Amino acid sequence: MTEDHYKAFKWATDNNIRIYPKIKGKNFILILERNGKTETSGKEYSKKDYQEVIWEFYLTLYNKLRNE
């Protein structure tokens, strides 16, 4: 992970945003929780991949929403 990933994670935490995995069969889906509301894309990830996807998702949200 890079410094930007950690900066994005801190920003998300400060803004009541979190991303976490939920088991779906042998894989995982990611849940985005923002101000108490949850949503998911429904896309499944393997145990091997989901953690990296979470970090990238935080970075994507940070870059998209930080100036709102």
Q: What is the spatial distance between Cα 63 and Cα 25, in angstroms, rounded to a whole number?
A: 32
Q: What is the spatial distance between Cα 24 and Cα 4, in angstroms, rounded to a whole number?
A: 30
Domain that holds residue 29: 3-65
Structural domains in the chain (count) = 1
User: What is the CATH classification number for the domain harbouring 51?
Assistant: 3.30.160
Could you report the per-residue pLDDT of 7-39, keeping only the tens digit for each?
Answer: 999 999 999 999 999 999 999 999 999 988 999
Share of the chain above pLDDT 70, in %: 100
- Quote the pLDDT of residue 66: 87
Both tokens of 57, joined, read 């998702």
pLDDT > 80? residue 68: no
- Quote the pLDDT of residue 41: 82
Q: Band of the pLDDT at 1, cuts 50, 70, 90?
A: confident
